[in-house]
Structure 1
C-alpha cells in the first residue's frame, strides 16, 4: 500500500481525491496549506504527492521549489484550475510528473495513480 499526500485548501477537493486514493487501495494523508504539505512531505516521505497550486502560507510552486531543493526525491502531481501553458511548464520544470486541471476527472486521477505509484 502506497502513501499518498493530498494537499488542497478545499476540503471538498481533498475529500474527492481521498475517496479515489482509498478506493484504489492506497493510504491517504491530508494537508490544507502549503506549509503543512511541505512539513508532512519532508517528515513522512509519501510515495506520491497530489497538490493544488493555490494554497495559503506557501503556494504550490513554492512547495515544488522547496521539495526540489530538499535534495530528496518526491513524485508529485499537480491539480490546478490554472490552464495556462506557462504554469504547466513551470510545474513540470520544478519536477511535477503530471498536471491535471480542475475539476478533476475521476478517470484521469485513477490514471495518474496507476502511472505514478508502484504496483505490488
Structure 2
C-alpha cells in the first residue's frame, strides 16, 4: 500500500502541478524537495513509497539522486519526470533502476497510471 509520496523538482511550479495530479481521495501524504541532495535526505528520513524525480536540478541532479536512493534502498520506487526524453537519458535512468519515466509536463492520467502500477507491484511483493 502506498502512503508517502516524495516529489523532487527544483521548480515549485512543477512540484505544484504534479501534486495536483495525485489523487486526493487515497489519503497519500505528499512531501517535496527542491533538489537531489534534499530529496535524498528526505528519502532517508521519510522512506516514501514513491519518489517522483526531476533530472535537471542544481546541487545534485536527478541521475545522482536516483543512484544514491537506489544504493541506500534497492527496493526504492523512483519515477523520473523530465522534459529530456533523449534515448541516452532514458537508458541512463532505467539502468540506475528507475521504475518508469514520464515526459514533462506529465498528464494526470499518466501520473495516476504510474501510481496504480506501483500499487500492483507493492501488492505482489507483500503477497510473497
TM-score between both structures, scaled by the size of structure 2: 0.86
5+ residue gaps, structure 2: 124-128
- d(CA) in 1 for partners of 2:36 and 2:25? 25
Structure 1 residue 48 and structure 2 residue 53: aligned? no
Q: How does 1:28-67 map to 2 (within 5 A)?
A: 28-67=30-69
Rounded to whole Å, the distance in 2 between the matches of 1:42 and 1:88 is: 25
1:7: which partner in 2? 8
Q: Is the contact made by 1:79 and 1:100 (CA closer than 8 Å) also made in structure 2?
A: yes
Task: Give the number of the structure whose residues are more often helix, by fraction.
Answer: 2
2:102 is paired with a residue whose SS is strand
- Secondary structure of the 2:53 match is strand
Aligned residue pairs total: 119
The answer for unaligned runs of 5 or more in structure 1 is none
What do the CA deviations read for 1:10-57 (whole angstroms, capped 9, x no partner)? Answer: 111111111222525211010011111000001111000001001111
Aligned to 1:108: 110
